[in-house]
Amino acid sequence: MTDAATTTPIQSATEAMREVLGGYDPQNLMSALQVFPDLAEHYDGMAENLTALAARLDESPVHETLRESLREQAGVFGGLADQAREAHAQAQSLHEDDIRRINEPRTGENMADFEAHQ
């Protein structure tokens, strides 16, 4: 990575995401499953921002081919968001019993003990 004086805002955001995802270690099932809607939100934001950037560049000397590339990349991120939402729905189904037990523990069941074993 370049030094702080030449680091662009996008490079800074990329480094932050590397640190967050690279160091993220979910401690229980519910935290692990939350990754999917969080990623969907991130991907949706990327899609929206790339589309907006392409629109801002419409009045610039940047070649149309490059602006269209940004729009295509936005579409890819939109597809990734859809995949993350699908994975979350699948996870909810695959772990339905576990989730129900976490949300509705048996009488006398210690939630901390159960969740620690997920």
pLDDT over 90 (residue 3) = no
pLDDT over 60 (residue 111) = no
64-94 and 35-56 are packed helices; what angle lies between their axes, rounded to 10 degrees? 170
Q: Across the chain, what does the average pLDDT equal?
A: 91
**Torsion angle in degrees (nearest 10) through CA of 56, 57, 59, 63:** -160
Give the pLDDT score at 105.
86
Provide the residue type at 117 as one letter: H
Maximum mean pLDDT: which of 6-10, 44-48, 100-104, 108-112: 44-48
Provide the pLDDT confidence category of residue 110 given band limits of 50, 70 and 90. low
Flag whether the pTM goes above 0.85.
no
